[in-house]
Structures are given as structure tokens and as C-alpha cells.
Amino acid sequence: MQITFSTAALPKSGAVIIPLFEDGKKPKAYADIDAATDGAIERAVKAAEFKAKKGAILEIVAPAGIANGRVILIGAGTSKDLSALDAEALGGSAINRVLSTREKIAVFAVAGITPKKLDAAQLAARIAHGARMKTYRFDKYRTKEEKTEKPVLAKIAIHSATTKAKTIYETFDKIGDGIFLTRDLVSEPANVLYPASFAKRCNELVKLGVKVKVLSDPEMKKLGMGALLGVGQGSVRDSKIVAMEWLGGKKGEAPVALVGKGVTFDTGGISLKPGPGMGDMKWDMGGAGAVTGAMAAIAGRNAKANVIGVIGLVENMPDGNAQRPGDVVKSMSGQTIEVLNTDAEGRLVLADALWWTQETYKPKAMIDLATLTGAIIVSLAHEFGGMFTKDDKLAKQLAAAGEATGDLLWRMPLTKNHDEMIKSDIADMQNIGGKGAGSSTAAAFLGRFIKEGVSWAHLDIAGMAWNEKDKPTIPKGGSGYGVRLLDEYVRANYEG
């Protein structure tokens, strides 16, 4: 998708998008277009009693003057309330309408709009970003889609003051690339994306200046990663750990580490999941997907920070060699775990990935992302990721990054009592708690693999990695949740 910023004359074809406000604010081009169409716009607004409510759309097809195009009026609410994220949603909603047409060009006429909370350049860049995010499609496996069914939109032009918006947008462009990468990874089926092929995709980040290291079976065995390897032992696909290193900050400064659960398919193992809905478990690598996309964003925009992304990649399958309920495994940390349920596998993978990350990189802060529990969806539905941390400052920083980007987080309890719920009769701990607080006992389990002095947060994103429904800037499917959150957390706290 080509994206441009310019104040050149509006084209006489394509889709011209005009945001309107409830308080009557309009872009400069409104009067011109109304004049050029012999008053068709104004007449349509009156006839339809268009009130410019947020997200409302009024489309005028082929009016005189722009005979081979259309004008799309989109409601933007009140101008004093329009936030940066509202501007992105506006961009996404408008472009969604254009995508269902045969228009090749969409022009956002925004010059002259002055919302209270955004300057003109921010407004333009945010609209562009939101619009681009909505154009995402995962269509590589559609071989029979008619040409006439595929969207033909090729260019989004923002009619606005140019240079500053363009500069701001360049950063969004890189973050957007990271989000698209995450959506691709999350959408891939598990016969295509498995530990080795996932690692290969990570290798492409080398182009952005990221150093990529891959640990394979024998190395992990040698390191004593019995928890992670136990999960993968029922699969014919070998497990991997991938480390992505971006050292854009001060030399020698301790990095921030991002760690992701990458279960490329979760059948539950011998504690087999029920059939209906099991296909969803192709996106049980959503944490690893978010970490990989965030690394692409961070490297792509040349962040001045030292950031390490580590992902634990395994496939959880039941076969003759699979781990059994009741097995005891030894983690790299030396602690033993009684595996009472082979479907509580994400925490086993993370136990070794987290420990290895701390031993190898001595991070000052560590954030893990995982589609860890169904229970977090019971608590928070698809509105927030669940945040577990004992560090109030880190909680604040992450919550702020969530607010700023729309990747929202809600803090959940993590206490000594939750830790007591995973006591085992025969080992150092068991991998499940009792009946209640399943997300908190999972977090407490991870907490046992965090070293003294490391500032750590666990983000349970089981409800966020996949969207069952369209959102203004996210088509149904892989959401890319977590990429902006992590990127913004790094930007706000580690760069100068």
C-alpha cells in the first residue's frame, strides 16, 4: 500500500474521504468539493440528516464533478474530544468502506481540521496508520478468489500539511510492519509454522540489524531445559529457543528482555483438549508472535535501547513418547515440577525460557507475553490483557503504554497465597493450582523462575491475540496485540 502526504489538488476520481464533526468543524476541502459537485454534498448531508456521530458514514457515489468516484463523509464526533486513537479508528473505518468498492485511490481530506488534542501532523499520521492497519489481509492460501473479490485499493493519500506528518508517519510505518509480521505469524496454520520454520522467519530480522541466535534440542538438553523439552517430546517437530538481540542503546547497559510463549500448536498433549475449537490453538504462539513483531518494530525504527527478544518454540502433541500427567521434570533452574496436566504447558516452556534469558542476558527488566490461560478470558473477555507483577512502577509503565497505544492491560492479583496453591506432594511445585484463580496460579508458577532483583511482569494475552470480530483498525483474525504495547514501553522508558 502506497501512503502519501500532500496538499496537491484533490483528484477527480477515487474515493474522497471527508471527516465531519458534530460541532460543525470541516476540512478546508469541504466547500471546494461541495462547489465542484454542484452542492451535492451539502444536499446529501441535509437529506440524510447526517449528524457526524463517531463512525457514522454517508457515501455519495458518482456526484457531478467527480463522476467516476465517490465522496465518503465520516462522522468524527466532537472535535475537542478526538484523540490520537480516535483518529486511527476514523482512518480504519473509512478505509474499510473503501475496501468494499473498486476504488484504487483513497484521499483523506483533512487539511484545516484542528482537533483540540492533536496537531495537524499527528492527525494526518494517525489517520494514515489506522487506515493502513485495516488493509491487512491474510489471503495467501486463497487460490480461487475472483479478481473482482479482492480489494484493489493501492494508494492512501492524506491531503494535509506534508513534511512533519511524513516524518511522524515513518515511525508508524515501522511499527505497522511489526504488527503485520505478528498477524502473519499468528494466522499461519501449524503445519506451516512450527518451531523450525518459525525460527527461520525470525532470521529475516537480520536485515533490520537484529542478531538472531537459535538453540536446538542438543544444546537445550545440555543446558538442562527439562521443562521446555518435556512439552515438545510428544511431537515429531524439534523444539527451539530463538533469541533476537537489538543493541541500539548504550554499550554495556543491561537490556530489557521480552519473552514469548511460542506453542505452535497446543493439542493439550495427553491431557487432550476437546475437539471443538481446538483449531484455535494454532495461535498459541501469540506471545512469541508479539515479541517477534515488537523486535521488528524496535529495530525497524532504530530504537536507542538494548532489547532482547526470546521465544520458546514447541509443539504440544500426544504420542507414544509424549509426557504423561504425573511426570516429574527438572527445569534449567534446578527446580523440579510435577506435571499434573500436560495442557498447562505454556508455563513449562516459559520456565526454562525465562531462566535462560536471565542467565544469558542479565536483564534489568523482563516482560513475558503468553496465551497462557482460558481463565483470563473469563476475567477480562477480549478487552484487556491481564498483567501480573509485584513491581508497582513497572505496572504503571506498562499500563501507560497500554493506554497510549490501545493495547490495554488490566492488573491482576499475584500473591503469596497463589504461590502456595501450586505446592506439590512429591516435587518442588506442580504445574496447576486448584479450582480457582487459574491465571494467578499460572503467574505464580512463572514467578518461581524469576531471580531476585529482576523487575518482571507477566502478560496473559489469551483473550487478545485473536479477534473473533472486526475492530476499526483490526480485521477479524490475528490482532497484532502487544507489538505497540512493547514498542511504546521501550520508547517511553529506555530511550534517552
CA distance linking residue 413 with residue 262, whole number of Å: 24
Distance CA 461, CA 408 (A): 10
373 in contact with ligand BES (CB under 6 A): yes
Q: How far apart are CA 85 and CA 89, in angstroms?
A: 6
For position 343 contacting Mn ion by CB under 5 A, the verdict is: yes
Site for ligand BES in 262-281 (CB under 6 A): 266
Residue pair 249/366 in contact (Cβ under 8 Å)? The answer is no
Q: How far apart are CA 463 and CA 38, in angstroms?
A: 50
Q: Is 266 a residue that touches Zn ion (CB under 5 A)?
A: yes
Nearest to 113 by CA among 45, 171, 48, 161: 161
Query: Is 347 known to be catalytic?
Result: yes
Q: Does residue 245 touch Mn ion according to CB under 5 A?
A: no
Strands laid side by side in the 57-61 sheet: 2-6, 155-159, 105-109, 13-20, 68-75, 57-61
Which region, judged by CB under 5 A, interacts with Zn ion, from 198-206, 278-286, 401-409, 445-453?
Answer: 278-286
- The DSSP line for 310-326 is EEEEEEE--STTSPPTT
Choose between 329 and 375: whose C-beta lies nearer to ligand BES. Answer: 375
* Number of residues located near Mn ion, criterion CB under 5 A: 3
Instruction: Tell me which of 43, 137, 273, 411 is the catalytic residue.
Output: 273
Residue 373: CB minimum distance to ligand BES, A: 4
Stretch near Zn ion under the rule CB under 5 A, chosen from 74-82, 320-328, 345-353, 436-444: 345-353
Q: Which amino acid is at 250?
A: K
How many residues bind to ligand BES according to rule CB under 6 A? 15
x/- string (CB under 6 A) for ligand BES, residues 279-318? -----x----------------------------------
| Residue whose Cβ sits closest to Mn ion | 343
Distance CA 451, CA 432 (A): 21
Strands 327-330 and 477-478: unpaired
Among residues 16, 344, 351, 412, the one that binds ligand BES under rule CB under 6 A: 344
**Per rule CB under 5 A, is residue 346 in the interface with Zn ion?**
yes
Nearer to Zn ion, 130 or 287 (CB): 287
Please state, in angstroms and rounded to a whole number, the distance separating the CA atoms of residues 87 and 28.
Answer: 18
The verdict on whether 164 is a catalytic residue reads no
346 binds ligand BES (CB under 6 A): yes
Name the residue type at position 163: T
Residue 471 DSSP class: B
Cβ proximity of 215 and 193 under 8 Å? no
User: What would the x/- binding string for ligand BES be over residues 137 to 176, using CB under 6 A?
Assistant: ----------------------------------------
Q: For binding to Zn ion (CB under 5 A), which residues are involved? A: 263, 266, 284, 346
Catalytic center residues:
273, 347
